[in-house]
Amino acid sequence: MKNIIKKALLAASASLLLMAAGGTAHAVITAGGASIHNAATLTFAGGTVTASVDVSVKTIAAAPTIAVNSVAQSVNGGQTATYVYTITNNANGSDVFNLSGASTDVNVAGAPTLTVPATVTLGGSITSQTNTVANTIVIPAGSELNLVAGDKINVGGTIFTIAPGGIVPGTVASTTGAVTTPEVPTVITVVEPLAIGAAPAGTHVGELQTVTVTVAASTPNTPGINGTHTVNLTAITTATTQGVAPAVVTYLTSAGAGNETITTVLSANVTLVKSVRNVTQGVATFATTGVTAKSGDVLEYRLVATEATGASNATGSVLVDEVPAFTTYVSNSTQLNGAAVVDGALSTLKLTAANGGLTINSPGAAAGTINAGTAATVLFQVTVD
């Protein structure tokens, strides 16, 4: 009796593909999620017997590509900067990336409050056949995990959108009795034009998603000197590397990679100028020196609080001034930005410390706020005793 043993390895794209590039052969990695089906048939006098085994191909960890929409923003202390990151999967299959953020801080009271999504799940695969139909890609059955209609995918360096109803799942190879059914691959249809043959076997397919990170700024330590929060993200794979000691892959954004962000925290930089004019003498110009007066003359004081252009908006601004010696306050003479200010108790100057000072603002700003590049102007009059 003669025994004849036949072995059939049915893996379609699940097996390693041997491709030629520039005349040099090289192995193309298999898609994670694919299934390698191996069936052996023993034929002998009086019958046959078949045995099969399946191997699931796992994702091999790869550092993602991370880009950010803006690497620098400026905010006032206590305000929030928002950054949008695009994360692209470079692995051969689906992976879950664990995200975190850290900040290096200069001239601020403390670290910012960072809001970073904990994880992002990205699909991925490797094409198993050259596409023979326009606007489609062909991948191993089972490797479409975590890919859905509407997803953005990078196919060989070009971004495509999976069409509505655009994923037709395939079926893995299987053996029943002596009959082996080959794999039917998964076919994905994309919205954008993709020519026939433009996605040859071995082309990487990686999903990309955007995540939003917010940086709630602290406050500067030194008035007039801006602070900074320099933020970098860490992405750690769930999948592991090849070899006998597999490990996760950690990717850290950096200035060199162009995906480090710097949030400048603007510091308030307010100047205060006080001047006076003699109303009784008909002097129209305010001066800081050289003003004279006689008993009975009315003097008008002007205080101008200016926030520098490009600085933070000054908030919580309260101005305190006292009635000068040898003078008497003129009731109801106080103005803020040209509008009358109600006097303090017993018709006293509202600016005095006893009255709690005057909350000031630049024109159109909220109470207590002097916007950058603007000024708050206060006038009041006294009579020389």
Which of 215, 235, 266 is the last residue before a domain boundary?
266
**Structure tokens given for 239:** 């999948």
Residues 111 and 32 both lie in one domain:
no
Q: Are residues 369 and 227 in the same domain?
A: no
Whether residue 101 is found in the same domain as residue 213: yes
Residue 249 lies inside a defined structural domain of this protein: yes
Domain end point (choices 17, 38, 56)? 56
Measured CA to CA, the distance from residue 161 to residue 223 in angstroms comes to: 49
> In terms of domains, do 104 and 25 share one?
no
Q: Has residue 372 been placed in a domain? A: yes
Final residue of a domain: which of 247, 266, 285? 266
- Looking up tokens 């043993």 gives 5
CATH of the domain at 93: 2.60.40.10
At 179, phi and psi to the nearest 5? -105, 125
Is residue 232 in some structural domain? yes
CA atoms within 13 A on the CB side of 360: 31
DSSP letter, residue 191:
S
What distance in Å separates the CA atoms of residue 229 and residue 123, rounded to the nearest whole number? 32
Is 184 a domain residue? no
Flag whether 47 is in a domain. Answer: yes
Q: Let me know whether 105 and 230 are in one domain.
A: yes
Does the CA dihedral 125-127-128-134 come out positive or negative?
positive
Specify the 3-state DSSP secondary structure of 49: strand
Are 229 and 375 contained in the same domain? no
Tell me which residue has tokens 């052996």. Answer: 40
Tell how far CA 198 is from the center of its chain: 33
**Residue 146 falls within a domain, yes or no?**
no
Q: How many structural domains compose the chain?
A: 3
Task: Provide the token pair at 147.
Answer: 């890919």
Q: Does residue 301 lie within any of the structural domains?
A: yes
pLDDT at 282: 96
Question: Is 31 domain-assigned?
Answer: yes
| Contact indicator for 141, 184 with CB cutoff of 8 Å | yes
- Report the pLDDT value the prediction gives residue 27, as an integer from 0 to 100: 52
Domain with 214, as residue range(s), is: 65-123+207-266
Kindly list the distances between the CA atom of residue 122 and the CA atoms of 131, 138, 143, 203, in Å, as whole numbers in the listed order.
23, 18, 12, 17
Q: For each of the chain's 385 residues, which pLDDT tens digit applies?
A: 333 333 333 333 333 333 333 333 335 799 999 999 999 999 999 999 999 999 999 999 999 999 999 999 999 999 999 999 999 999 999 999 999 999 999 999 999 999 999 999 999 999 999 999 999 999 999 999 999 999 999 999 999 999 999 999 999 999 999 899 999 999 999 999 999 999 999 999 999 999 999 999 999 999 889 999 999 999 999 999 999 999 999 999 999 999 999 999 999 899 999 999 999 999 999 999 999 999 999 999 999 999 998 888 898 999 999 999 999 999 999 999 999 999 988 889 999 999 999 999 999 999 999 999 999 999 999 999 9
- 349 and 283 co-located in one domain: yes
Q: Map residue 228 onto helix, strand or coil.
A: strand
